[in-house]
Amino acid sequence: MNTKKKFYGTWIILAAFFIMGGAVGVAWNCNSLFVKAICEDTGFARSQVVFLTTICSAATMIMSLFISKIYKVVSPIKVMRVAAIILPIAYCAISFCKRLPRFYRVQVVVALCIFFTANVPLSIIIGNWYKIGLGTALGISFMGSGLVGMVFNSIVGRLLPVYGWRFTYRILAVSIAVLVIPFVWFVLKETPEAMGLKAMGAGESTTGEAVKEEVWGPTAAEAMKSSSFILVCIAMFMCMVALNSQIQAVSPRLTDLGYSVATASNISALGLGSLAIGKILLGKMYDKMTVRNATCLAVFLGCLAILGEALAKYPAMVALIVIGEGISCAMGTVGMPVFVKGLYGNRDYNAIYGKIMAIGNAGGVLGPLFLNAMYDKTGSYDIALWVCFAFDVIALVIFAKVLGKKKD
C-alpha cells in the first residue's frame, strides 16, 4: 500500500455533513413549517397532516428490522445512490398532491429514502473509515442536519408567504438534489480499502499493508438471547419515548404556562441549535470517556431537560431545557451506533444495530402519541412529562448496569 496517500476520511465527513443536511435538515426538519399552509390550501385537518410523522416513523421502524438482510444483498452505498436519486423526485411530487391518501404514500417514499440515505448507512460507512475517533467523526457529520436545517428553516419562512407551499416544496427539492446527489455519487466511498487506504486507527503490518480488523462479538441471534440486549432495548425505547415527547412539547408547554410565542420559539430554536453543538460534544465524549460513562451522562442530561420542562413555570428552570437537550438528543444519531458497537462488536453489527434502532424508533413514534393523549385527557403536559422523566431515570439505571466499563 502507498502510505504517502492522504487520508480520505475528511472528505467522508464532509460528504456525510451535506448528505445529512439535505436528507434530514431539509427534507425532514422543515416539514413542520408547511403544516398550516398545506391545511389551508387542501382542507386537510391539522391532525391528519401531523399524523403523517407517525406513519413515516412506523415505516422506517419496520424497515430497520430488515436492514441487515438488505445490506447482505446490496451494499449500503449502492442503496444510497438509488435513494439519493428518488428522494428529491418524491419530495417534489408532494407539491402535486391534492388527496390525502396520495399525500401519505408519497411522504412515506420520502421517509424511506431519507432512511436509506442518512443516519443508518452513514454510520456504517463512517465506522469503516474511523476505528478511532469514531464518536467525533459521527458528531461532526451528523451536525449537518441541524445546521443546514436551521438555515433552510429561515429560507422557508421567507419563501412560503411569497411563493406558497407547493412552489416552495419544488425549490427545496432542487436544493436536496444539489446537497445530496453529488456527494453520494462522487465523493462518498464505502471503505478505505477500495481506495488502497486504511482506516483511521487501523493496524499496519511490517510490509505496510493494513491489518484486517479483528472480528469480534456475538451474532445477532446470540445477542437477542442475552439479557443485556433485552435491557438495552427497554432502555432505548424509554429514552426515545421521553426524548421525542420532550422535544414535541417545548413550545406548546411554554405558551401554556404564559410565556409569549416569541419567547417559546426562541427557546425551541436555542434547543435545536444546541443539538448541532451537542452532536460534536457527545462524539468527543465517546472518544475520551468510556462508552458507559458517555452514554449515562447523555441520558442524565436528558433527565435535566425534561425536569426543566416539567418545572418551566419557574423561569430559571427553562435553562435546563437548552442545556440538556443538545447532547441528549444526539443519543439516537451519534450515541447509538457507538455504544452498540462497543457492547456487541462488529461481527453482526448491522443486524443488532437495526433491531435496537427499530425498538428506539417505536418509542419515538409512541412518545408524542402518549404526550398528546395525556394532554387531551388532562388539559396539561404535567403528568406526561413526569412519566417521561421517570422513563429516562429508569433508562439511566439500565445503561449504567448493562454497558461495560472498558473504553471502546
* CA–CA gap between residue 191 and residue 235 (Å, rounded): 32
Residue 2: what pLDDT? Answer: 46
Q: Domains along the chain?
A: 9-195 (1.20.1250.20), 220-402 (1.20.1250.20)
Torsion angles phi and psi, residue 285, rounded to 5: -60, -45
With residues binned 3-state (H G I as helix, E B as strand, rest as coil), the percentages for the chain, rounded to 5, are 80, 0, 20
Q: Find cell 390550501 and name the residue.
A: 41
Burial of 383 (0-12, 13-18, 19+ CB in 10 A): middle
C-alpha cell at 270: 436555542
Per-residue pLDDT of the chain (408 residues; tens, 9 = 90+): 444 567 899 999 999 999 999 999 899 888 877 888 888 899 988 778 867 877 888 888 888 888 888 998 999 999 999 999 999 999 999 999 999 999 999 999 999 999 999 988 999 999 999 988 888 999 999 989 888 887 887 888 889 889 999 999 999 999 999 999 999 999 999 999 888 888 888 765 444 555 566 788 898 899 999 999 999 999 999 999 998 888 878 878 888 898 886 787 677 767 767 777 888 889 889 888 888 999 999 999 999 999 999 999 999 999 898 888 888 888 878 888 888 888 888 888 888 988 898 898 889 888 888 887 888 889 889 999 999 999 999 999 999 999 864 444
Residue 1: what pLDDT? Answer: 41
* CA–CA gap between residue 405 and residue 131 (Å, rounded): 19
C-alpha cell at 274: 444546541
Q: Please list the alpha-helical segments (H only) found in 183-290.
A: 220-224, 227-256, 261-288
Q: Please list the alpha-helical segments (H only) found in 311-348.
A: 318-328, 335-344
Torsion angles phi and psi, residue 204, rounded to 5: -135, 135
